[in-house]
Amino acid sequence: MATALDTALAVHGGAPVRAGRPWPVWPRPAPGAGASLIEVLHSGRWSIASPYGGEPTFERRFAGDFATYLSTGYCVPTASGTAALMTALEACGVGAGDEVIVPALSWVASASTVLGVNAVPVFADVDPRTLCLDPVAAEAAITPATRAIVVVHLYSALAELTALRALAERYGLPLIEDAAQAHGATYLHRKAGTFGTVGTFSMHHTKVLSSGEGGAAVTDDAALARRIEHLRADGRCLPDRPPAPGMPELVETGELMGSNRCLSEFQSALLIAQLKELDEQNAVRRANAALLDRLLGELGCTPQETSAGTTARTYFGYAVRLPDAVLREVSAGVVAAAVSAELGLTVRPVYRPLFDNKLYDPASRPRFRHVPGHLWRVAPAGHDLPVTSLAARSFVTFHHSALLGDEADMHDIAAAFGRVLERACELDG
């Protein structure tokens, strides 16, 4: 193992802190996942739009399992987290020209989904400790055109849900809770995703509950759930009772036009198996993150905090703020690259602010020029959100799969950070 006394950092060709030992692989198939996929393969039903075969679909089974896990009334699986967010927005009545408040520090889908329903994302600043939507900033962003608030539980933190829910109720706005990075986390002993009018999840390859691609929207409101069903299945929904075998199960009601954003039977079967492993994996991540909090804190780093109401965290990413003294010498991106070289593990800065993110570029899509002046309203320029900007320059993160390792892995991570931070003056940039 390399030490701080070695002649060169790994990024400069020196021996790395960690070499020859792999990190945990993600996604990790759960026991029974392969058998479930083979069952679907030979079932004659790969989609919920296939003819009814006499048994509940895997999609219906997963929806029931996930609703039970979350203790919520309804779950509508979708093709992606993006699909879940868009159907949630539309089901809540958000449409052309409406404003939707979103946190300025988030993955681009927080803004692009709002654009996708012809509405206007309004960026609000985040809390400097949690990196989640600041309730005070959210209230300051409300205008007569505001139609919804979207809160994102970012990386490993839960937002201040009590304050945000009270804010939404005070102004009569739906609160859409994006829990794409928080499967299994709890706030006041309730699962993340169940505090908002609608909760949305992603089951993308990177997520702690994964089927490669996929998502879900959850709610306790039967009418909203029915609208989401129509919006994700070309205007069709499931019947109150099953049809005769061989007949289509989805009913063409004509209530609400939708699009095809359904989850496949393969993904649904995989999620049923993966869900059984979620709590145990989250417990391992949580214990390792607690150890890292202590080790990196001793180096002068500040781990991302969660809100006071959090009763159990999960970790999509482990995020940590670098010491100010180091940031005066070198950028977070350069430090992240150097730590990556020491570990053979990708460490990177947190998301760029949405108003400064090259992935958020409405002008690149002709569809957003549909109304004169609309493109100006949704342009990324002209935002001054100091907390978001500072957080993007200060924090680095790595994927939750590393937290499925053992204590020795956590000590390797701390050793790599320590080595790079001690010799940050040797880095360029």
Look at the block and give the residue holding tokens 């939507």: 133
Burial class of residue 396, CB neighbours in 10 A (0-12, 13-18, 19+): buried
In a shared domain, residues 54 and 148: yes
CATH code for position 91: 3.40.640.10
Asked if residue 5 is part of any domain, the answer here is no
Q: Count the domains in the chain.
A: 2
In a shared domain, residues 226 and 324: no
Asked if residue 260 is part of any domain, the answer here is yes
In a shared domain, residues 409 and 284: yes
Choosing from 191, 207, 276, 358, the catalytic residue is 207
In a shared domain, residues 267 and 303: no
Asked if residue 65 is part of any domain, the answer here is yes
Residue 195 zone, left/alpha/beta (φ > 0; ψ -120 to 50; rest):
alpha
Cβ-Cβ contacts under 8 Å for 179 (sequence gap 6 or more): 153, 185, 192, 193, 199, 200, 201
What the block records as the tokens of 269 is 């079967």
Report phi then psi at 138, rounded to 5.
Answer: -65, -45
In a shared domain, residues 101 and 207: yes
In a shared domain, residues 181 and 304: no
What the block records as the tokens of 177 is 């809770």
Going from the first residue of the chain to its last (429 residues), give the mean pLDDT of each consecutive group of 10, the final group possibly shorter: 65 95 97 97 95 94 98 98 98 97 98 97 98 98 98 98 98 98 98 98 98 98 98 96 93 96 98 98 98 98 98 98 97 98 98 96 88 88 92 98 98 98 91
d(CA 254, CA 289): 50
Domain membership of residue 356 as a residue range: 10-26+278-426
Asked if residue 4 is part of any domain, the answer here is no
Report phi then psi at 186, rounded to 5.
Answer: -130, 145
In a shared domain, residues 291 and 228: no
Alpha helices per DSSP H over 106-257: 109-116, 135-140, 161-170, 222-232
To the query of whether residue 207 is one of the catalytic residues in this protein, the response is: yes
CATH code for position 290: 3.90.1150.10
Burial class of residue 397, CB neighbours in 10 A (0-12, 13-18, 19+): buried
Asked if residue 307 is part of any domain, the answer here is yes
Nearest residue to 125 (alpha-carbon basis) of 395, 396, 392, 397: 392
Instruction: Answer with the one of 275, 297, 325 that is the final residue of a domain.
Output: 275
What the block records as the tokens of 146 is 């505001």
Nearest residue to 180 (alpha-carbon basis) of 146, 150, 204: 204
Q: For residue 48, how many other CB atoms are within 10 A of its CB?
A: 22
Instruction: Answer with the one of 218, 252, 275 that is the final residue of a domain.
Output: 275
Reduce the DSSP state of residue 150 to 3 states and report it: strand
d(CA 186, CA 313): 7
Q: What pLDDT is recorded for position 412?
A: 98
In a shared domain, residues 222 and 288: no
Run of H or E including 178: strand 175-178
Q: What pLDDT is recorded for position 6?
A: 55
Look at the block and give the residue holding tokens 């002709």: 366
Report phi then psi at 32, rounded to 5.
Answer: 90, -10
In a shared domain, residues 271 and 283: no
Cβ-Cβ contacts under 8 Å for 204 (sequence gap 6 or more): 80, 81, 180, 210, 212, 213, 214, 215
Give 233's DSSP letter: B
In a shared domain, residues 412 and 335: yes
